[in-house]
Amino acid sequence: MSELSLWICPVCGGILTESEKFLKCPKNHSFDKARSGYVNLLPVSQKHAKLPGDNPEMVRARRDFLGKNYYQHLQNTLCQTVKTYLLPGGSLLDAGCGEGYYTKKICDSLPENAVCYGVDISKTAADFAARADKRTHYAVGSVFHLPVSDDSFAMLISVFAPYCGTEFYRVLKVGSYFIMVIPSALHLWELKQAVYDKPYENQVKDYHLENFRFLEKISCEQKIFLDNSQDIQNLFQMTPYAYRTGSQERERMQALQTLEVQTAFEILIYQKEA
């Protein structure tokens, strides 16, 4: 049995009809579902690398770290925030969902009639997410070219993912909510102190976003204790620091056996303006 989805065809922009094994648009462009359940809606023209997004090692590191619930305090606070703002039966999109740690928990906390979608540019991440979460609809796609219909979602969330205001505005209904999670200034400060000669605070930008009305900020902070080197390495691997750290600093990180570190997040809530 087929049903209309909120996905759109990346070739022609037509609405995709979803069946058990594939999605198809009115012009007969067809996209097979992977065995895990996600669909690849990222055209070659939007790829800037052979394997865009986080590589398999980074995705596994994040999955293993988050799987130990070090960030459960953020997960719980985010779930409660979504339930506060999402109207009953509303549709939700996680733009840059990664391996689905937050997406699945949020979706599981919502009533059965809520519709949840997740998009990530990493095929490995989308595969991991779909394997763990059969309720949410997952696709490989770019947050800069979201493969979803205009004005189709009651809420969009973005957790440590790239921001694309024009696309987020396009896919949200008027009056709907956008929730963005960012690290605050002293997030992972003790890790930086242990690794770098001159640690620096995270830059927190002005909260103003064009076409969105800022409603509130929710702070979520907690110290966590990592009692083994593998968890410390996984934490480091899932941060942007992994891209730009030299060999000497990496050796310092790999030598750490335990670490107590501050986690500090900001949950920012916006509403789409007319």
Going by C-alpha positions, the residue among 261, 187, 250, 197 that lies closest to residue 219 is 187
238 contacts 223 by C-beta, under 8 angstroms: no
Q: What is the pTM of this model?
A: 0.95
159 contacts 179 by C-beta, under 8 angstroms: no
Q: Give the helix ranges, DSSP H, for the chain.
A: 56-66, 72-85, 101-109, 123-132, 165-171, 189-195, 229-237, 247-255
Please, where in the chain does CATH 3.40.50.150 lie? 47-272
d(CA 8, CA 254): 44
Handedness of CA 175, 204, 76, 232 (dihedral sign): positive
Comparison of pLDDT for 127 and 89, the residue scoring more: 127
Q: How confident is the model at residue 1 (pLDDT cuts 50, 70, 90)?
A: low
For 2, 8, 79, 153, the CA distances from 145, given in Å and listed in that order, are 25, 11, 26, 15
Q: Which residue has the tokens 């759109």?
A: 8
Tokens representing 44 are: 């070659």
Provide the percentage of residues in the chain whose pLDDT is more than 70: 99
pLDDT, one tens digit per residue, over 165-202 is 999 999 999 999 999 999 999 999 999 999 999 999 99
d(CA 15, CA 50): 27
Task: Give me the pLDDT at residue 182, please.
Answer: 97
Q: How many CB atoms lie within 10 A of CB 57?
A: 11
Average pLDDT in the 120-146 region?
97
Provide CB contacts within 8 A for 234, sequence distance 6+: 61, 62, 64, 65
Q: What is the mean pLDDT of the chain?
A: 94
Which 8-state DSSP code applies to residue 243? G
* CATH fold group of domain 47-272: Rossmann fold (3.40.50)
* Angle subtended by helix axes 72-85 and 101-109, to nearest 10: 50
Going by C-alpha positions, the residue among 97, 119, 103 that lies closest to residue 41 is 119
175 contacts 159 by C-beta, under 8 angstroms: no
Task: Give me the pLDDT at residue 246, please.
Answer: 86
Burial class (CB in 10 A: 0-12, 13-18, 19+), 189: middle
Which residues on neighbouring strands pair with residue 116, listed in sequence order? 92
Task: Give me the pLDDT at residue 61, please.
Answer: 94
